[in-house]
A and B are shown apart, each in its own frame.
Chain A
Amino acid sequence: MKQLVRRLSTTLLVTITIIAVLVLWEVLVRLLDIPMYLVPPPSAVFKETLRLGPELLRHTWVTFYEIVIGFLISVVLGVPIGILIVYSPWLEQVSYVLLVISQAVPKVALAPLFLVWLGFGMQTIVLLTFLISFFPIVVNTVVGMRSIAPEMLLLAKAMKATQLQTFAIFRLPVALPSIFGGLKVASTLAVVGAIVAEFVGSQEGLGYLILSANANFQTPLAFAAIAILSLMGLAIFYFIAFLENRVVFWQRSNELEPEAWQRASVGVDL
């Protein structure tokens, strides 16, 4: 109960702060008479959002779809690869080095090449989204799988657990908090990946919209797209945090704990 009250009051505080900033922004823009193409007031952004509603929705859907597909591919490949790395000394030696090297290459710089190879379209964007969000998932899976206490493995051995039982009953649950940490980082990176990929080569999506709006001095539209993008990123992040609280119920974490941000900063490299 006490916690609920505290949570609610935090939410209230955040809401009030956001509203205050928006109001201040509106007032300043009007008082200083800043031209619309430089910084539009929030009301103009809001109006633009309503005017272009269906169009915005279509672009939002495209970007959302790219992010989700790219992210899901990196989860489906990243977690098993992380697990295999822990189990196979050979794979560890080879693939870890390869992974780190592949991380050293700025993937955004590869975007034009992918465009040449895969052509204009969704496949290129999904690939780049996948590449950017893949690494933190692998690394966090490896870290999580390794975080098991040596005595815990002795206990499993003393109980004569099979390899599969040791994995399913002991190692995987121990790794889950770290894996979810990786998923949260990867989800934010996936958003970045999709937008950058759209900048480079796309005719649709929010990234494309931002670019074309800028070119046409439709700054309110660009702001609207950015706002939607931010909300989308938040929604994806909190959805994963929600899943985390359900799955890793024994280790309830506040989504905004400092540790989560430390983890986040590890994964960010563009």
Chain B
Amino acid sequence: MSRSNSSLGAAVRMTNLEKTFYSRTGTVKAVEDVSLNVAAGQFVSLLGPSGCGKSTILNMVAGLTPVSGGTLTIDDHAVTEPLDEMGIVFQRDLLLEWRTVLDNILLPLQIKRAQTPESLKQALELLELVNLADFAHCYPRELSGGMRQRVAICRALITTPRLLLMDEPFAALDALTREQLGVDLLRIQTHYHPTVLFVTHSIDEAVLLSDTVVVLSARPARILATFDIPLGKRRDGLTRRTQEYLNVVSQVRAVLEEYAQTPCLVSSSVSE
């Protein structure tokens, strides 16, 4: 599974990105004036309160939701549909209960009719990477929540994506499992070098995993601050105890707390 160290990731560029939802009860501005450059191979977290519109940004990058305003490009191409070399992981693992672990992982290739004899080997290697090699022929219901989410991550990686989108992938898991999966994810990124866009509401998770943490406001989502995380590329569970780590975490927390104390302007975002 050796790969050249040159980055295979996709570069994502957002300029004055906007998203407005129209419904019977009025219009809701979900994303406002977000400009962000994600360089190829970078791990970027979108951090913000629940329901702030960070998932909306992710869905736009995924090509699942059209953009309302501004521009959004991946490798200088405007996003109009899901990128072929893209993997996505949601909060729920969304495994198909009637398929074995192996068949779940191979699903994206089967849909694209791109399954080769090599694919099977590749799937097994991925399972090895997340310590699930013995479970290839099990059904999802036989696995725990954390194991299921690892399978979902393998499914997202089977196409060797250049862009990995993760929408609160660990939010439904308990604290210990969460930490373990974070470390797994770091290991995965050193094997593959996809650009990762990671949505979370956990400060610790964002700081531990990311090269850059983007702090967003509540609806409409606006960028409050951007932090480059000076922790180097080699991180593990122990990184959490270093002084640098604790410093960054408290800086990020300060930004969020300051924001929480400013008068709420939510009502202005909903107009009839």
Interface residues, chain A, CB within 8 Å of chain B?
149, 151-152, 154-161, 165, 169-170, 173, 249-251
Most buried by A among B62, B84, B94, B112: B94
Given contacts A169-B111, A250-B139, contact A157 B84 (CB under 8 A): no
Which of B88, B92, B96, B97 is A158 in contact with, Cβ under 8 Å? B88
Which of chain A's residues have a CB closer than 8 A to the CB of B128?
none
Write 11 A-B pairs (CB below 8 A) sorted by A numbering. Answer: A149-B92, A151-B92, A154-B62, A154-B88, A158-B64, A158-B86, A160-B82, A160-B84, A160-B112, A169-B111, A170-B96
Chain A at the B interface: mostly helix, strand, loop or mixed?
helix
Are A173 and B96 neighbours in the complex by a CB distance under 8 Å?
yes
Are A155 and B111 neighbours in the complex by a CB distance under 8 Å?
no
| CB closest chain-B residue, reference A154 | B64
| CB closest chain-A residue, reference B91 | A151
Given contacts A165-B111, A169-B107, A250-B139, contact A158 B62 (CB under 8 A): yes
A177 vs B96: C-alpha distance in the bound complex, in angstroms? 14
Are A159 and B107 neighbours in the complex by a CB distance under 8 Å?
yes
What number of B residues sit within 8 Å (CB to CB) of A?
Answer: 22
| CB closest chain-A residue, reference B59 | A154
Which of chain A's residues have a CB closer than 8 A to the CB of B111?
156, 159-161, 165, 169
Asked whether any CB of chain A lies closer than 8 Å to the CB of B98, the reply is yes
Which of chain A's residues have a CB closer than 8 A to the CB of B91?
151
Which of B64, B98, B108, B141 is A157 in contact with, Cβ under 8 Å? B64
Which positions 84-112 of chain B face chain A at CB distance < 8 Å?
Answer: 84, 86, 88, 90-92, 94, 96-98, 107-108, 111-112
Interface residues, chain B, CB within 8 Å of chain A?
59, 62-64, 81-82, 84, 86, 88, 90-92, 94, 96-98, 107-108, 111-112, 139, 141
Which of chain B's residues have a CB closer than 8 A to the CB of A154?
59, 62, 64, 88, 90
Which of chain B's residues have a CB closer than 8 A to the CB of A152?
94
Give me the 7 closest cross-chain CB pairs, A-B, nearest first: A250-B97, A158-B88, A161-B111, A159-B111, A158-B82, A159-B108, A250-B98
Excluding A151-B94, A159-B111, A173-B98, 19 further A-B contacts by CB distance (< 8 Å) are: A149-B92, A151-B90, A154-B62, A155-B90, A155-B94, A158-B64, A158-B86, A159-B82, A159-B107, A159-B108, A160-B82, A160-B112, A161-B111, A165-B111, A169-B96, A173-B96, A249-B98, A250-B97, A250-B98
A155 shortest CB reach to chain B, Å: 5
| CB closest chain-B residue, reference A247 | B98
Which of chain B's residues have a CB closer than 8 A to the CB of A161?
111
Which of chain B's residues have a CB closer than 8 A to the CB of A158?
62-64, 82, 86, 88
B77 shortest CB reach to chain A, Å: 16
A170 vs B111: C-alpha distance in the bound complex, in angstroms? 11
A157 vs B108: C-alpha distance in the bound complex, in angstroms? 11
A250 shortest CB reach to chain B, Å: 4
A161 vs B139: C-alpha distance in the bound complex, in angstroms? 22
| CB closest chain-A residue, reference B89 | A155
Chain B at the A interface: mostly helix, strand, loop or mixed?
loop
Which of chain B's residues have a CB closer than 8 A to the CB of A169?
96, 107, 111
Most buried by B among A160, A169, A173: A160
Are A157 and B82 neighbours in the complex by a CB distance under 8 Å?
yes
Which of chain A's residues have a CB closer than 8 A to the CB of B86?
158
Are A250 and B141 neighbours in the complex by a CB distance under 8 Å?
yes
A152 vs B155: C-alpha distance in the bound complex, in angstroms? 14
Are A159 and B112 neighbours in the complex by a CB distance under 8 Å?
yes
A154 vs B96: C-alpha distance in the bound complex, in angstroms? 14
Which of chain B's residues have a CB closer than 8 A to the CB of A159?
82, 107-108, 111-112
Which of chain B's residues have a CB closer than 8 A to the CB of A165?
111
Which of chain B's residues have a CB closer than 8 A to the CB of A250?
97-98, 139, 141
A204 vs B141: C-alpha distance in the bound complex, in angstroms? 50
| CB closest chain-B residue, reference A160 | B82
Which of chain A's residues have a CB closer than 8 A to the CB of B139?
250
A149 vs B96: C-alpha distance in the bound complex, in angstroms? 12
A165 shortest CB reach to chain B, Å: 6
Which of chain A's residues have a CB closer than 8 A to the CB of B84?
160
| CB closest chain-B residue, reference A156 | B111
Which of B88, B97, B98 is A155 in contact with, Cβ under 8 Å? B88
Which of chain A's residues have a CB closer than 8 A to the CB of B96?
169-170, 173
A165 vs B94: C-alpha distance in the bound complex, in angstroms? 16
A157 vs B64: C-alpha distance in the bound complex, in angstroms? 7
A156 shortest CB reach to chain B, Å: 8
A165 vs B109: C-alpha distance in the bound complex, in angstroms? 13
A158 vs B86: C-alpha distance in the bound complex, in angstroms? 8
Which of chain B's residues have a CB closer than 8 A to the CB of A156?
111
A246 vs B97: C-alpha distance in the bound complex, in angstroms? 14
| CB closest chain-B residue, reference A166 | B111
Most buried by B among A152, A157, A158, A170: A158
Which of chain B's residues have a CB closer than 8 A to the CB of A151?
90-92, 94
Are B97 and A251 neighbours in the complex by a CB distance under 8 Å?
yes
